[in-house]
C-alpha cells in the first residue's frame, strides 16, 4: 500500500462518519494536548521541587563539610605535633639548641604532655561525633599507643638498653597508627579524588 491509498481510506472513513467525526477528532486532539501539557507541568513542578530540595541539601552538606574539615584538620594537627614530639624523644636522648644548651628530650616530652592532653581533650568530643567508626577506632588506638609511649619514656634510663628498646618499640606503634590515621583521613576527606 502506498501513501495515496492510505489517505483515501482515512478520507473514506471520515466521510462515512460525517462532519461530526472531524469535530470529535479535533476535540480529542485538543483534549489530548491539554492533558499532556497539564501532566508535563505537574511533573515539571515536582521535578523542580525535588531539585530545589537537592540544592538545599547540597548546600548544607557543603557547609557542614567545610566546618568539619577545619575541625578534623585541627585534630590532626594536634595529633601530628604530638607524634613529632614522640619521634624526637624516641630518636635522641638530648638535642643541642642553636644557643648551645642541651635539651633533654625526655624532659621536653614530659613538660609538653599536659598542654597536648588539654588540647586533645578539648577536641575529642567533637571529633568523636565526626569520625566514622574505622577512624574512631584508630583514634582509640592512638590514645593507647601514646599512653604506652609515655610509660616507656617515664621508665626510660639512658644506661639501660632494654628501656631504650622498649621506648623505640612503643614509638613504632605510634608511627603505625599515624600512618593508618593518615590513610583513613585521606579516604574520609576524599583528598585523593579532590587532587586529581
3-state SS track over 138-178: HHHHHHHHHHHHHHHHHHCCCCCHHHHHHHHHHHHHHHHHH
The residue length of the chain stands at 196
Instruction: Identify the pLDDT of residue 118.
Output: 93
List pLDDT tens digits, range 145-162.
Answer: 999 999 999 999 888 889
Q: How far is CA 115 from CA 78, 110, 122, 136, in A?
A: 10, 10, 11, 22
Full set of structural domains in the chain with CATH: 66-194 (1.20.120)
pTM of the model: 0.67
- pLDDT (tens place) for every residue of the chain, 196 residues total: 676 776 677 667 666 666 666 666 666 677 677 787 888 899 988 999 998 988 888 887 777 777 788 888 899 999 999 999 999 999 988 888 888 888 888 899 999 999 999 999 999 888 888 888 999 999 999 999 999 999 999 999 888 889 899 999 999 999 999 999 999 998 888 866 655 5
Q: Report d(CA 74, CA 68) in Å as an integer.
A: 10
- Kindly state the cell numbers that stand for 26: 479535533
Instruction: Identify the pLDDT of residue 145.
Output: 96
Q: Are 136 and 128 a contacting pair, CB within 8 Å?
A: yes
| Alpha-helical regions (H) of the chain | 3-17, 19-91, 105-130, 133-155, 161-189, 191-194
Which burial class, exposed, middle or buried, applies to 136 when counting CB atoms under 10 A from its CB (0-12, 13-18, 19+)? middle
| Among candidate residues 124, 120, 169, 117, the one with its CA nearest the CA of residue 148 | 169
Instruction: Identify the pLDDT of residue 150.
Output: 95
Amino acid at each position: 500500500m502506498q501513501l495515496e491509498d492510505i489517505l483515501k481510506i482515512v478520507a473514506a472513513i471520515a466521510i462515512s462518519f460525517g462532519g461530526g467525526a472531524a469535530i470529535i477528532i479535533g476535540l480529542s486532539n485538543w483534549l489530548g494536548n491539554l492533558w499532556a501539557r497539564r501532566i508535563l507541568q505537574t511533573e515539571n513542578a515536582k521535578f523542580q521541587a525535588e531539585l530545589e530540595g537537592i540544592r538545599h541539601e547540597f548546600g548544607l552538606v557543603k557547609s557542614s563539610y567545610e566546618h568539619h574539615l577545619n575541625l578534623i584538620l585541627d585534630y590532626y594537627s594536634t595529633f601530628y605535633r604530638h607524634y613529632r614530639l614522640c619521634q624526637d624523644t624516641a630518636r635522641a636522648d638530648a638535642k643541642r639548641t642553636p644557643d648551645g644548651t642541651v635539651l633533654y628530650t625526655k624532659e621536653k616530652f614530659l613538660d609538653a604532655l599536659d598542654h597536648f592532653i588539654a588540647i586533645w581533650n578539648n577536641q575529642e568530643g567533637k571529633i568523636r561525633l565526626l569520625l566514622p567508626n574505622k577512624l574512631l577506632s584508630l583514634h582509640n588506638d592512638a590514645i593507647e599507643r601514646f599512653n604506652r609511649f609515655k610509660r616507656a619514656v617515664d621508665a626510660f634510663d639512658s644506661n639501660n638498653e632494654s628501656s631504650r628498646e622498649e621506648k623505640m618499640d612503643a614509638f613504632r606503634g605510634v608511627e603505625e597508627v599515624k600512618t593508618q590515621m593518615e590513610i583513613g583521613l585521606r579516604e574520609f576527606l576524599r583528598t585523593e579524588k579532590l587532587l586529581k
